[in-house]
């Protein structure tokens, strides 16, 4: 049988691999969506913040997985917040492109600092989580991938629960739908925006750490791939729509994986950006509803 014929086992393998990569896209997509919903802009600096999170985790890995992961995520949160105050907030009420361009510039500064401190070369990520592979009916499942999937999905699902079921979540949703009404009814909308900026930076930081764990290496340019795919997933899911971001992230991951397995590895990127192009033409508000 030809290798290109999709057997059931290979389809399942593509889905499993796709879910693992897709969970990282989903994490980044949710981060961009949180920001879009509350701040109404795109912080392109988060791409570099994500890479920085992975590299900080690498640098702390001698202290154990918990310290490494928490360190990477916390550093990402703090730097992401800094970018919000320096490059986003001052420009929000001016030209819409200004915060996007300013955040891109701030991100490049972050990358410069990371290169100065840690060098430009790729570094092998120590094993922070269990490695090895399970084999089930011909489908190979990487333990690392399962951990990445579980951690990323848990983070996203907890985030979705918080926004849907708690007082903080109500403040976030009310602010995102109508900041004037939310403010007039006691919601500190500025605090919501700052909290969202921090949560988004933490999410991309975690994505950077997990991407390093999954790939087994970190480097200063690693934020672009997951970051841009996450941005694609955010738009596909409907900007600002958190469940949409989660679903679109997983969908992009699985489509890429399927394209890589059944067509050509070179087509992986074409699939996600092609899908984005198609959806933007047919349904510009995204697969679910933009908000």
Encoding tokens for residue 217?
Answer: 């290496």
Give the C-alpha separation, 274 to 276, whole Å: 5
Q: How far is the CB of 246 from other proteins (least distance, A)?
A: 19
Q: In 3-state terms, what secondary structure has residue 123?
A: strand
Q: Which of 182, 202, 239, 261 binds other proteins (CB under 8 A)?
A: 182
Q: Which of the ranges 20-28, 140-148, 185-193, 211-219 carries the binding residues for other proteins, by CB under 8 A?
A: 185-193
- Does residue 65 interact with other proteins by CB under 8 A? no
CA distances (Å), origin 136, targets 10, 11, 13: 12, 14, 10
Instruction: Provide, rounded to whole angstroms, the least separation between the CB of residue 244 and other proteins.
Output: 14
**Is 174 a binder of other proteins (CB under 8 A)?**
yes
CA distance 278 to 217: 33
In this chain, which of 142, 173, 193, 219 binds other proteins, going by CB under 8 A? 173
> And the tokens for 21?
């990569």
Rounded to whole angstroms, how far apart are CA atoms 131 and 143?
5
Return the residue of 85, 140, 161, 185 that touches other proteins, per CB under 8 A: 185
Q: What length is written for the chain?
A: 291
Q: Nearest distance from residue 192's CB to other proteins, in Å?
A: 10
> Is 166 a residue that touches other proteins (CB under 8 A)?
no
Beta carbon nearer to other proteins, 126 or 183: 183
Residues 6+ apart with CB under 8 A from 204: 27, 28, 31, 46, 47, 49, 50, 53, 76, 80, 223, 227, 230
Helix ranges (DSSP H) in the chain: 8-39, 46-59, 65-83, 97-118, 143-165, 167-177, 179-184, 189-215, 223-237, 242-262, 268-282
* 183 near other proteins (CB under 8 A): yes
Residue from 7, 130, 190, 265 that binds other proteins (CB under 8 A)? 190
Is 161 a binding residue for other proteins by CB under 8 A? The answer is no
Count residues near other proteins (CB under 8 A).
19
The yes or no reply on residue 270 touching other proteins (CB under 8 A) is no
Q: How far apart are CA 235 and CA 32, in angstroms?
A: 9
Q: Does 171 bind other proteins (CB under 8 A)?
A: yes
Please work out, in degrees rounded to the nearest 5, the angle formed at the alpha carbon of residue 193 by the alpha carbons of 83 and 210.
Answer: 60
Which residue's CB is nearer to other proteins, number 132 or number 186? 186
Q: Which is nearer to other proteins, 187 or 255 (CB)?
A: 187
Beta carbon of residue 195, minimum distance to other proteins (angstroms, whole number): 14
Residues of this chain that interact with other proteins (CB under 8 A) are 167, 170-171, 173-174, 177-178, 180-190, 291
């Amino acid at each position: 049988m030809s290798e290109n014929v999709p057997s059931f086992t290979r389809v399942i393998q593509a889905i499993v691999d796709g879910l693992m990569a897709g969970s990282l896209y989903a994490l980044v997509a949710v981060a961009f969506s949180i920001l879009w919903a509350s701040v109404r802009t795109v912080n392109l600096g988060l791409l570099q913040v994500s890479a920085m999170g992975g590299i900080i985790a690498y640098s702390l890995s001698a202290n154990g997985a918990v310290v490494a992961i928490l360190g990477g995520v916390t550093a990402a949160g703090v730097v992401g917040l800094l970018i919000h105050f320096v490059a986003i907030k001052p420009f929000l009420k001016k030209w819409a492109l200004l915060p996007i361009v300013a955040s891109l510039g701030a991100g490049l500064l972050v990358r410069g600092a990371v290169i100065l401190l840690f060098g430009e070369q790729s570094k092998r990520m120590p094993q922070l989580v269990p490695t090895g592979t399970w084999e089930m009916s011909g489908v190979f499942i990487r333990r690392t991938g399962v951990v990445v999937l579980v951690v990323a999905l848990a983070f996203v699902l907890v985030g979705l629960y918080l926004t849907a079921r708690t007082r903080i979540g109500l403040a976030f949703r009310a602010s995102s739908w109508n900041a004037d009404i939310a403010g007039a009814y006691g919601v500190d909308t500025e605090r919501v925006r700052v909290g969202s900026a921090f949560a988004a930076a933490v999410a991309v930081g975690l994505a950077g750490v997990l991407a390093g764990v999954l790939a087994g290496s970190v480097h200063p340019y690693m934020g672009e791939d997951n970051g841009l795919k996450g941005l694609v997933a955010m738009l596909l899911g409907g900007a600002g729509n958190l469940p949409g971001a989660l679903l679109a992230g997983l969908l992009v991951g699985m489509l890429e994986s399927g394209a890589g397995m059944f067509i050509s590895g070179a087509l992986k990127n074409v699939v996600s950006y092609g899908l984005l192009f198609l959806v933007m033409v047919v349904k510009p508000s995204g697969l679910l509803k933009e908000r």
